[in-house]
Chains A and B, each alone.
Chain A
Amino acid sequence: MKKEVKLSFWDRLYLPAILVGMGITIKHFFKNLFTPPSKRYTVEFPERKKDVPEWYRGLHRLNTRDDGSVKCVACYCCATACPADAIFIEAEDIDDLDESYPREKRPKQFIIDLHRCIFCGFCQEACPEDAIVLTNEYEITQLSRDEGLITMEELIKTPKKKMD
């Protein structure tokens, strides 16, 4: 396709257009120069953290009951729902059965492989006990593969989701 554009003499001089363009760029320059860092578009990460929305799916947390025991009943629902096969649960029997609130199993091991997890939130949806939830925590880094396998003890310590 050939576009016929008629340029006027003024346009063909180029210089006026260049000056207009330079005006635009210098406007941006001074705007950014006099904007304090806290108001710029760039959020400078370690010093300032971006607020994530409430529905953000970050690091997992295992909720606990009032007495401090894990809510998880080792039903394997989350492990079954997990499309990435990131959850490993080993169940164990509870010997002292409480008649008022009967539970038979609890996890002996609850390991999430953060390298496999895709943070889809299916485990949270599948959980009948509201035991596993995804929090707003997004600073999830490890220095080795082993540290990426997080155990039950660590999962309990994940800070709760901030509800504003």
Chain B
Amino acid sequence: MMAKLLAPEVFMIVKVVAVFIIVLTMVAVGTWVERRGAAFIQDRVGPNRVALFGKFRIMGLAQPVADGIKFFFKEDVIPANADKILFVLAPLIAFIPATMTFAAIPFGRSFDINGVHYFLSILPPATNIGVLYVFAIGSMGVYGIIVGAWASNNKWSILGGMRASAQIISYELAMTMAVVGVVLSTGSLRLDRVISAQTGLWNVVPQFLGALVFFVSMFAETNRLPFDFAEGESEIIGYHVEYGSMKFSMFALAEYANMITAAALFVTLYLGGWHFPWLDQWIWGSILAFLLKLVSILWIFVWVRWTLPRFRYDQLMRLGWKVMIPLSLVNMIVVALFLAYRG
């Protein structure tokens, strides 16, 4: 059984399916955690009514299922003046890159059995483009937003889309330059090298500034509060006003999938990936360590969302261009100087 499972092709398929299922499950559970977490933070109870088969309440964990069923059976409205092809395509453009980016991330230590090398990431690490791949695909996400906003043919959605794309593009600069520090200190774009370079000392400690910039930019990149100008659900109108039913749900799923990928990337780049004292001596332990870190970062997303109010747009731009980019430059230069003088 185990030997069959370990045939390279089968192992690959098992990995893809497992990752896809786990990411999508985390998306679903994430919506539940967000709503119940928000409720508890605000002294409320949150969704706890939905019961499996009308009997098992399990703290409302069936809520995402109910939401999914609701979204599937809702009427699917396409506005009369919308660009129909783009309107249908936009949620897919948002969703696919969000799930694709996870492919490059190593979620456990690689191992050798019978002289065959097995790695725990979907893309082989030897492709040498790990960091680049993630950023290249990750920045495709903005197309989903801008195409969706444009295709809706609605002035509020196009304004929301413009805000969101300006924000994402500005913070991408800071984010990428913060990552340059990691790439410099590792000397490779391969994410498995990035992780193995962090054995003993995680990158957060020597590159605290870079980690901070990356962490803040992550919120802006994934359109999460305090930077949720794309959606602005509480008062300003966002890019998906015209969307309903499953198409709207796709945008929401894309946001959560983006969150998971961004958190996974932060864990990989700054928190030592699957490294964890004592735990990472086993393969399962390393996967568990990675998941633990991932879940904690995801919780911070929720936690921050219900703590901070939204920035004003000019404050957002000032923070992006006048604080985050200089800070990431400082981080890059410090790392570069340190590497140059250490020899």
Contact = CB atoms under 8 A, between A and B. Distances in A.
B43 A41 contact: yes
A40 interface: yes
Interface stretch (A22-30, A53-61, A69-77, A148-156): A22-30
A157 to B, nearest CB: 31
B241 to A, nearest CB: 29
B35 to A, nearest CB: 13
A28 B41 contact: yes
Nearest to A32: B40
B45 A25 contact: no
Contacts of A41: 43-44
Interface in A14-52: 18, 21-22, 24-26, 28-29, 32-33, 37, 40-42, 44
B307 A33 contact: no
A29 B40 contact: yes
A18 B306 CA distance: 12
B41 A25 contact: yes
> Which among B39, B303, B307, B308 has the highest number of chain A CB atoms within 10 Å?
B307
Contacts of B40: 28-29, 32-33
B304 interface: yes
Contact of B303 (A26, A33, A37, A42): A26
A17 to B, nearest CB: 10
Contacts of B281: none
Interface in B10-50: 37, 39-45
Interface of A: 18, 21-22, 24-26, 28-29, 32-33, 37, 40-42, 44
Interface of B: 37, 39-45, 303-304, 306-308
20 contacts: A18-B307, A18-B308, A21-B307, A21-B308, A22-B304, A22-B307, A28-B40, A28-B41, A29-B41, A29-B303, A32-B39, A32-B40, A32-B43, A32-B44, A33-B40, A37-B45, A40-B43, A41-B44, A42-B44, A44-B45
